[in-house]
Structure 1
Amino acid sequence: MKNYLLLLAALLTTITGFGQTFPITGMATDATDGLALIGAHVSLNDATSGQLKATVTDLDGSFQLEAEPGNYTLHITYIGYQDLTQPIEVTDGTVPLGNLTLQQGVALTEVEVIGKVLPVQQYGDTTAYNAAAYKTLPDASAEDLIQKMPTVVMSGGTIQAQGEDVKKVLVDGKPFFGDDPTAALRNLPAEVIEKVEIFDEQSEQAKLTGFADGETSKTINIVTKPNMQTGVFGSLYGGYGTEGVYKVGGNVNIFNGDQRITIMGLSNNINQQNFSTEDLLGVVGDSGGRTGGRGRPGGGGPGGPGGTSDFLVSQQGGITQSDALGINFSDQWGTDLSVTASYFYNRADNTSNQLLNQEFFGADTTSSFYNEQSLTRGINTNHRFNLKLDHDISERSSLSWNAKAAWQGNTGSQSVFAQTLSGSDWLTQTNNELQTDLSALNLSNDLTWKYKFDQPRRTLSVRLNTGWAPKIGDRSLLSESLYSDAAGAYSWLDQYATLDQRTWNASADVQYTEPLGEKSMLLLNYRASYQQQESNTETYDLDEASQDYDLLNDELSNTFSNDYVTQQAGVGLNWRSGDLSLMARTNLQWAELSNEQILPEAGVYNQNYVTVLPMANLRYKISSSANLNLSYRTSTNFPTVSQLQNVLDNSNPLQLSIGNPELTPAYQHRFNARYSKTSTENSSVFFAMLGADFTNNYIAGSTLLANDEDPLFADMDVAAGARLTMPVNLDGQWNIRSFMTYGFPIGFLGSNLNVDLMANLSQTPGMVSNELNTTDKKTAGIGLTLSSNISDKVDFTVSSRSNYNTVTNSLSPGVQTNYFNQDTRLKFDWVLGSGFVFRTDLNHQFYDGLSDEFAQNYLLWNMSIGKKVLKGDRGEISLSVFDLLDQNNSLVRNVTETYLEDVQTNVLQQYVMLSFKYDIRSF
């Protein structure tokens, strides 16, 4: 028995030791001045097997490699330095190499670099991709390039990185067209890019103090090649086709070192809109407008008169004619002042023909439906200006100023035919004509002053914010409604209304940090803010006698003001030791919400709140290529002026909404865990995220259905057959989300594969017919993206994203709604001989579980053939076909706490276009 035990112990020891690796650590520095060599190439060669492991040095020149016991050769190279070679023996523990110095003296002209370009590197929380490692066609854009990189995908026309929407794109660390990610990615050619960096950008105060404040945005920084930072480059294009379709546009970049000017413009009627979300939304403010300018009856609360919802015809879906012009400027003035400014103009003429079906949740076995057909025409005009100045006042103090100004105007018209039904029986129907004209100005300033004392880590920062946003407009409403409960009963509305809404805000934030020993730092902060909103809406009925709108409708008019004052005082502690960093903060917030209403009924509502707002963050640097980040944050969400106004919105007589002046702020807890690992050796990136949020006093929707007998219908003089929605506070809202992505090269295919997995669980409370309803939604999805990295002659991307959704609600526990959506895309570009270029892309959309009347399966196929012309193949003439199979469609399913809906919108139809494009390149 003893012998067996000894043998078993020996086997266990052998198994335990098999494959075990030990870290090899060191630091590469300059032999003369001791400065760290960042990005030096470090390789480890196994003399026995010939296998090679490699990495690059971090921001402090450090590196780490893992190896099994054995003999190796360490090799470090850095351009302009002599190579360093050193034998290494790994036994049974860490191999600390200490400081390894490299000698200067190699002339750049004598260096010939031969080897594989490292595709990806990790610098702290920043993931950096080497553009040279990803092959694209000669005329590819930055957008084409970054979609080949691990964890970066295009979803619904939006660039996502590490599972989040990209909010900002910088060029060499400077803003490009404000916060517009699309402008940079579509107008910079891939060939000028050296590196693409992805990180979470923090606020100016957080960068100084090291204390997170929750103000982060997923950011891409495009680093241009040094030899292409002086020159003129861009492209010009134009085309015309069948059915009168056309496009014309271009961009010109004038780079002269630090001074950079970009001019771009476009005009087309094929839905190409080269601008950001703020332009698409037009003058939408705080309302939750969905279609036709009506407030969304759930979640964010309805927009009543005084908000923008009943004065704006939204531009979502449909066909848009766009005209846009943009100018971006950046420069370094002297050694202490940098400036970035941009101006953008666009005009979007949108026509949307929409079919909408809504099914409301309820305990009644007879389903309640709302069906709508609408034709919407809206013209949205936008001017926006952004300015950013960074001034180094001295070695210790600096000033950063961000200013934004935007003017937006929208005129629109909408025709609606809608019905409410109980089962298959109609209750009410309406014909509705709405005309709107609205304009809005939005001015904001953000000024941050930062100071560093002689004592390291002792800092003081002051941040000031101001904003002013006036909105004015008018609307005309003409509607006729019929009711089934009385033979021939109908109602007629002929109204004219005006809107005058003004919002201004100001805040001051002071933060002071003090070191507590070598590892800790104390934060003291104070913040005060004030916001005032005033809204005045006057609604007039047509006077049959005078044939003028001079009968003031008190019930639909309002004069309302909302004052919101907050003060916060807080303390925080930041502790760092080696690779571990821990931050904890807490704020005590006092807030006062004061509402005063004169019309339609006089009333004053004052509420005071004292809230504790804790925050914490833990970051652990597992290795030079792996990080773990845990965060917890609390916040309050105060109701908007539109949600507070106790006045009826009748822009759609069948879908009425009203505010609630007794709303209280929502209080949210948010948790996030993120893990990232970058492997330089096999060029792979892994990212995983788990998040959850829980909200008390969630601002939800309470819907009274057409067949309810509620006293509020009589109080508000609501016609029979209409539905009424009001925001209310409810507990029980939560959401759990998870995301995982892994990107790696597939050598035998010469391609990169990106695998995404996601799962979401959510519960949203709402009220239907005065009964509490909780809607539970479960979503699971998988995404695959295979992008070529073969050559600059062949370029393809194959992607597929599938999502399965299950929706249940507490009022109808026996009813479960399941629906499936799959989006599959193929993009293939091929440069043939004699300068011919073949391009094709296919987009297959498959739905299962939508309403029967909606199409559920279609394929959008586009194709073109082009010929390179002119010197250097800078020109290209192409003939393209859009929607080759004539199947284009647009389908969307939305789920709220009170209903689910299917929406189908008109889209572009088949056309053929002849185009010409010219690439400008002069460096």
Structure 2
Amino acid sequence: MKNLKFTIVLLFLLLGLSNFAQQGPPAFTKVKVTGKIVDKKSNQPLEYATITLKNQKNPKAISGGITNNKGEYEADVIPGVYDITIEFISFKNIEIKDKKITEPTSLGTIALEDDASQLNEVVVRAEKSSVEIKLDKKVYNVGQDMMVKGGTVSDVLDNVPSVSVDTEGNVSLRGSDNVRILIDGRPSYAVNVAEALRQLPADAIDKVEVITNPSARYDAEGGSGIINIVLKKGKNQGFNGTLIASTGIPETYGLTANINYKTEKLNYFTTAGFNHRTNEGGGKTNSEYFNEDGSVKNYLYEDRETERTRDGFNGRAGVEWTVAPNTYWTNAINYEKNTGEDNDLINYNSYDASRVFTGTTYRLNTGDTGSENASFTSNLIKNFNDKGHKLTVDTSISRNTDDSQSVITGSDNYNNTLNNQIQKQGQLQADYVLPLGEGSQFEAGYKGNFADLNNEYYVLDENGIKIKNLSNTLEYKENINALYTQYGFKANKFSYLFGLRWEDTNIEVNLLEDPIQFNTKKYNNFFPSAFISYEISDQSNITTSYSKRLSRPRGRFMNPAVNYSSNVNIFQGNPDLDPSLTNKFDVGYIKRWEKVTFNTSAYFEDTKDVFSFVRSPTGDVVNGVPVIKSQPINLGKEQKYGFEFTLNYNPFKIWRINSNFNFYNVKTTGEHSYTDTNDKVIVQNLDNEATTWFARVSSKLTLPYKIDWQLNGTYNGEQKTAQGKNLDQFSMNTAFSKDVMKDKATIAFNISDIFNTRKMRSYTYLDNQISYGEMQFRKRQFNLSFTYRFNKAKNEREKNAPRNEGGGDGGGDFPG
């Protein structure tokens, strides 16, 4: 089986690379054709409009381009006479005949008119690639991925280049979990971010932006980078929308509606959905214990079966008002409510030193969960001209409650745990962009993030009395104010972008128990960034970049509430963690051919006070078994270097291949000390160096009868840790879809984790114990979905695309 996994991954990679190698440079000297396309009525730029140039003497020689968010395009053609066609969905085409092009030519600004007769038609266009590679980020278009139909945001992220999601839902970027996750440019401070991402349905997502080395305009937080999840925003003229129904095994079903109504000045958009999800999982922990002389003492095998069900409703409604031809004001409200049940059964089987069975016990954790989130966002954009001079102001407020209660019963104990959380957030941001001539611009802005969290957690014994050493009330307050400025300009084939960000942080972490513990963290830092790009040709660029990043501990890292599902292997956060600082260096190269886009980068990261999980005995014993606690600490220093490449290849019109490969080396230096049961200070040396790799390949092929088939495989290599090693992991997914009802509807079927191999497996080595563990959060799943579109094309390019899809982390584009 292991050889099969390697063979499948390598075949995909070799196929992509061999075809890539066959592509060659242009055989003729070409000239550039440029221009701009706008909406005739509003004079707003049209993004994703297409221009096609067909050579009259050689009809097979076709060139063209797609407009960017400024409505601009460029295309390279062999000198000759061309017929030119300019198209955009629901607009009248424009044709230019017998255009002689012998030198660089500008077609100027071309205005397209609405074609009212097309508004109610379904027009199938060539699909936009599911992965767009840009120099400063990768953009993953969710709508083109059949794998995530009926899934959640976690499923979406697990298909994004450079991103991986482990079996517990934790997100990492380039192998590091110090990543900043934004939704429409706004942060989430949920204590359990992984669980929050599982609640949001994939059908509400438009695209995901991955920024591995952000500039000064972005938050400094996120040592390995930023992932921005962009929600759907309808922009099409008139009344239109999409309905999606799904069902699956284990029991899963849902219904989502995205509806939009647009007039000349007002655009109303809404998304509402209900979903029921069942996740079946399991795991085990096999431990071998030793005496002080090194001989075997006994064995304990834990077998776990889990089932989690969730019922969730999410709704979003808003309106965009065109106050003036150059001023737009958008307001939206969001509401989410989720309830669920958890069942976690652990059987403990004990054996003596000779592996003779000595007894069994069990532990059953049954619980109820509930969360409710409400937020309001407002976005104002003032365009002073059509050359990029603009002011953007964003505000948002939100309130979140998250409650859970569980009853733990076992062979020899009874406990009750409760966790109640209330969180309030506010954000204010202003961004100003001023072009200063051809290819240069100045930017400046302010951003304030304000959060207040109260988390009460306690464990009751069989008499209903609170167990003090396992109970606490956490009060967390965070105020962050930031200022930034940056300047970009272009000189010949070089483009430069230099920026500086200043952030002032004031954090209070208080434990309201006896005795009360106060932890105040106040610090301010400067975060410089620099980007230099060289245009080798119209189709290739090389970029070098530097930025300073910060990672603030949050969520389960900070929360001292004890994960009490196992009474011998427990997890506890650390409210005294300090932030870590990272210096990031990156050299990237991108090359585009007609059918191939290749992007590669080499990177180096140097981090101080990096977070690391350590395991150590608590001194407690349950039925003769020592209790081991896992907790995050500020370890010391970490240095990481690696390289990655992303390859998009379209060998034929019906076949598209995307591949991503990442290889890296991580070296950590540090130690941890604790006091054992004999009051002896034990110092753990946690120095570690590990090399590993990650690969993902996705193929989408149109079969006969217009059936689309998608297949992807993911492999994570083995990685050594300071106290053991994480074993390799392989998984594969597949999906089929078919358009029906004259292409107004689509039926899709997908299988997640075909071979049921997506398990986190690891070994842990301690002084008196060796443990092997497996964890599978979700077993293999089958999903069937039905999508119906009314007054909307399947792959429609939305005109008047969102003007600030980052939702606040906007700003101008890289100069040039």
TM-score normalised to structure 2 length: 0.67
Pairing of 1:178-577 with structure 2 (within 5 A): 182-183=202-203, 200=209, 217=228, 257-266=237-246, 268=247, 270-271=248-249, 320-332=250-262, 334-357=263-286, 371-418=301-348, 431-453=362-384, 459-480=390-411, 492-514=412-434, 516=436, 519-543=439-463, 549=464, 551-577=465-491
In 2 relative to 1, CA 155–100 (structure 1 residues): closer, same or farther, beyond 3 Å? same
Which residue number in structure 2 is paired with residue 698 of structure 1? 610
Structure 2 counterpart SS, 1:599:
coil
Counterparts of 1:703 and 1:161 in 2: how far apart (Å)?
32
Which residue number in structure 2 is paired with residue 759 of structure 1? 663
Which residue number in structure 2 is paired with residue 309 of structure 1? none
Find the partner of 2:633 among 718, 723, 728: 728
Counterparts of 1:875 and 1:509 in 2: how far apart (Å)?
40
Which residue number in structure 2 is paired with residue 773 of structure 1? 686
Structure 2 counterpart SS, 1:634:
strand
Contact 1:739–1:756 (CA under 8 A) maintained in structure 2 = yes
Contact 1:169–1:220 (CA under 8 A) maintained in structure 2 = yes
In 2 relative to 1, CA 811–200 (structure 1 residues): closer, same or farther, beyond 3 Å? closer
In 2 relative to 1, CA 539–523 (structure 1 residues): closer, same or farther, beyond 3 Å? same
User: How far apart are residue 513 of structure 1 and its match?
Assistant: 4.3
User: How far apart are residue 20 of structure 1 and its match?
Assistant: 7.5
Q: Which amino acid aligns with 1:81?
A: E
Deviations 1:492-534 (A, max 9, x none): 4322233332221223223344555655433333333322222
Q: Which amino acid aligns with 2:203?
A: A
Deviates most, 161-170 or 588-597: 161-170
Counterparts of 2:99 and 2:637 in 1: how far apart (Å)?
63
Counterparts of 2:202 and 2:390 in 1: how far apart (Å)?
36
User: How far apart are residue 258 of structure 1 and its match?
Assistant: 2.6
Structure 1 counterpart SS, 2:203:
helix
Counterparts of 1:896 and 1:463 in 2: how far apart (Å)?
47
In 2 relative to 1, CA 338–325 (structure 1 residues): closer, same or farther, beyond 3 Å? same
Structure 2 counterpart SS, 1:380:
strand
Counterparts of 1:772 and 1:628 in 2: how far apart (Å)?
41
Q: Which amino acid aligns with 2:258?
A: N
User: How far apart are residue 222 of structure 1 and its match?
Assistant: 12
Deviations 1:371-400 (A, max 9, x none): 421233333221211234322223443323
Which residue number in structure 2 is paired with residue 663 of structure 1? 577
Contact 2:259–2:271 (CA under 8 A) maintained in structure 1 = yes
Counterparts of 1:439 and 1:358 in 2: how far apart (Å)?
34
Contact 1:81–1:103 (CA under 8 A) maintained in structure 2 = no
In 2 relative to 1, CA 575–593 (structure 1 residues): closer, same or farther, beyond 3 Å? same
In 2 relative to 1, CA 599–739 (structure 1 residues): closer, same or farther, beyond 3 Å? same
Counterparts of 1:76 and 1:478 in 2: how far apart (Å)?
77
Structure 1 counterpart SS, 2:686:
strand
Deviates most, 397-406 or 641-650: 641-650
Contact 2:285–2:772 (CA under 8 A) maintained in structure 1 = no
Counterparts of 1:220 and 1:626 in 2: how far apart (Å)?
31
User: How far apart are residue 344 of structure 1 and its match?
Assistant: 1.6
Structure 2 counterpart SS, 1:81:
strand
Find the partner of 1:54 among 55, 59, 63: 63
Deviates most, 445-454 or 469-478: 445-454
Contact 1:702–1:766 (CA under 8 A) maintained in structure 2 = no
Structure 1 counterpart SS, 2:413:
strand
Structure 1 counterpart SS, 2:461:
strand
Deviations 1:458-512 (A, max 9, x none): 54433223222223333222334xxxxxxxxxxx432223333222122322334
Which residue number in structure 1 is paired with residue 84 of structure 2? 77
Deviations 1:386-419 (A, max 9, x none): 2343222234433233432212222223221246
Deviates most, 433-442 or 505-514: 505-514
User: How far apart are residue 36 of structure 1 and its match?
Assistant: 11
Deviations 1:786-842 (A, max 9, x none): 654575467666x57474724334567xxx8874747597x89999xxxxxxxxxxx
Counterparts of 1:648 and 1:366 in 2: how far apart (Å)?
32
Counterparts of 1:909 and 1:515 in 2: how far apart (Å)?
51
In 2 relative to 1, CA 222–451 (structure 1 residues): closer, same or farther, beyond 3 Å? closer
Q: Which amino acid aligns with 1:893?
A: M
In 2 relative to 1, CA 124–406 (structure 1 residues): closer, same or farther, beyond 3 Å? closer
Contact 1:751–1:787 (CA under 8 A) maintained in structure 2 = yes
Q: Which amino acid aligns with 2:428?
A: A
Structure 2 counterpart SS, 1:183:
helix
- 1:588 partnered with 2:502: yes
Which residue number in structure 2 is paired with residue 687 of structure 1? 599
In 2 relative to 1, CA 874–522 (structure 1 residues): closer, same or farther, beyond 3 Å? closer
Unaligned runs of 5+ in 1: 1-17, 89-94, 110-116, 132-140, 148-153, 171-176, 186-196, 230-256, 272-319, 481-491, 544-548, 706-711, 832-867
Contact 1:570–1:585 (CA under 8 A) maintained in structure 2 = yes
Counterparts of 1:168 and 1:648 in 2: how far apart (Å)?
27
User: How far apart are residue 601 of structure 1 and its match?
Assistant: 2.9
Contact 1:42–1:74 (CA under 8 A) maintained in structure 2 = no
Which structure: larger Rg? 1
User: How far apart are residue 704 of structure 1 and its match?
Assistant: 0.7
In 2 relative to 1, CA 720–403 (structure 1 residues): closer, same or farther, beyond 3 Å? same
In 2 relative to 1, CA 399–519 (structure 1 residues): closer, same or farther, beyond 3 Å? same
Which residue number in structure 2 is paired with residue 805 of structure 1? 717
User: How far apart are residue 685 of structure 1 and its match?
Assistant: 2.9
In 2 relative to 1, CA 479–568 (structure 1 residues): closer, same or farther, beyond 3 Å? same
Which residue number in structure 2 is paired with residue 25 of structure 1? 32
Deviations 1:541-565 (A, max 9, x none): 233xxxxx2x333223323322222
Pairing of 1:121-140 with structure 2 (within 5 A): 125=134
User: How far apart are residue 723 of structure 1 and its match?
Assistant: 0.5
Contact 1:764–1:897 (CA under 8 A) maintained in structure 2 = no
Find the partner of 2:525 among 608, 611, 614: 611
Counterparts of 2:720 and 2:544 in 1: how far apart (Å)?
31
Structure 2 counterpart SS, 1:555:
helix
Structure 1 counterpart SS, 2:578:
coil
Structure 2 counterpart SS, 1:465:
strand
In 2 relative to 1, CA 673–388 (structure 1 residues): closer, same or farther, beyond 3 Å? farther
Question: What fraction of aligned residue pairs are identical, expressed as a percent?
Answer: 12
Counterparts of 1:740 and 1:778 in 2: how far apart (Å)?
17
Contact 1:648–1:656 (CA under 8 A) maintained in structure 2 = yes
In 2 relative to 1, CA 384–599 (structure 1 residues): closer, same or farther, beyond 3 Å? same
In 2 relative to 1, CA 436–514 (structure 1 residues): closer, same or farther, beyond 3 Å? same
Q: Which amino acid aligns with 1:73?
A: G
TM-score normalised to structure 1 length: 0.60
Q: Which amino acid aligns with 1:511?
A: D
Q: Which amino acid aligns with 1:444?
A: S
In 2 relative to 1, CA 400–74 (structure 1 residues): closer, same or farther, beyond 3 Å? same
Which residue number in structure 2 is paired with residue 483 of structure 1? none
Counterparts of 1:692 and 1:366 in 2: how far apart (Å)?
44
Find the partner of 1:903 among 769, 772, 775: 775
User: How far apart are residue 101 of structure 1 and its match?
Assistant: 11
User: How far apart are residue 633 of structure 1 and its match?
Assistant: 3.8
Contact 1:788–1:795 (CA under 8 A) maintained in structure 2 = yes
In 2 relative to 1, CA 155–673 (structure 1 residues): closer, same or farther, beyond 3 Å? farther
